[in-house]
Homo-oligomer: A and B are copies of this chain.
């Protein structure tokens, strides 16, 4: 255990030689300590058998370094937000600016607008100069000051733009596609022999980025999603044989849907991408919904049901759309509308009059400002991203694992997803809440 695996080795631009100017470390009597590159965060904290070589996996710990690589008075920093909205984007922007400016003394910070479009000449987007005064109140608003866009752009043109504008540090805030882009940018930079650091800040409202036990905006998102579940329950109860179907976010990972169940015990069925389900037949969803209504009626209780479906669930039941969106994601069929119609048809065929309502709250969720919990989490991420960047680390993302902030190489992050394990304690607890059978 004195050694750790080199799975998560971090690239640097060169040797850090400049003493950190962070004022709190330099006060007389300060007990604060810099973090060394040798400080590690174990990948596994819970174990049965330690003979597995994976037990040596460890991340480099994030945090302020004693020596930094860039000269704060000269370094020029760029920043970009990509993909769909997520609560906390403005907190991340704000904190990066504040930490760079107030603590390191960096003066030149630029916001490229509309995601990676911002580097591409043909779009003609402005570049914003980001100052503490300019960003100081942006965290009160949802969305992103810099706007966003989906989809990749030409990597060479992006690096050309960074060179031309003499940007030495680039922060990329986004999800899988964005981080893939960031990794390619870092590779192109390396190929050209440039000294430009690329630091990713993970953003995904679905909470599906690897090596991040949670991501910013998630708490805000699922807390708001709970409101829609409560509405669903009230509506289902409000009419004879009321059924409410709620579609929530979750393309590949059903964490939001599953968490609403744990927070709000009024859900009868939850459907996530990780667990396939059938519609009809003995183990079918529709059969179980019908059964539930009959059971309640029999027990002299109000027959009603709430069904929650993540957008990526049950895609095998839909004929593929065969198209992709600007980010290159396969465009999913609309499982919400599909299920809504199937439920209607099913109960019509059974000659049972139901009152079906359909709720789809996603845009009301994504656009919120971060709640206090997420605001703090954004602060931590941005703070650590700044320290990593100033120390000359590159091609990495700030992760969060076992309660610690870490450096994660981008190449380890991309191309995979964090998903619900259907055999985990978490999923067991979700099913214990809904009462639905495993694999409905």
Contacts and interface: CB of A to CB of B under 8 A. Distances in A.
A177 to B, nearest CB: 15
B423 A33 contact: yes
B149 A240 contact: yes
B432 A24 contact: yes
Given A239-B114, A372-B222, A429-B380, A30 B363 contact: no
Contact of A361 (B235, B364, B376, B438): B364
A266 to B, nearest CB: 10
A234 B143 contact: yes
Contact of A364 (B142, B148, B227, B431): B227
Interface string A1-14: 11000000000000
Given A375-B262, A422-B31, A46 B1 contact: no
Contact of A231 (B213, B363, B403): B363
Nearest to A302: B147
Contacts of A238: 85, 143-144, 147-148, 367
A45 B42 contact: yes
A400 to B, nearest CB: 10
Contacts of A121: none
A235 B33 CA distance: 37
Contact of A367 (B140, B234, B437): B234
A48 B262 CA distance: 37
A383 B231 CA distance: 26
A155 B425 CA distance: 36
Nearest to A43: B45
Nearest to A373: B219
Interface string A133-156: 000110111111001111000000
Given A114-B239, A213-B403, A402-B403, 10 more contacts: A24-B438, A29-B438, A29-B439, A40-B47, A102-B435, A126-B300, A140-B141, A147-B239, A150-B239, A222-B372
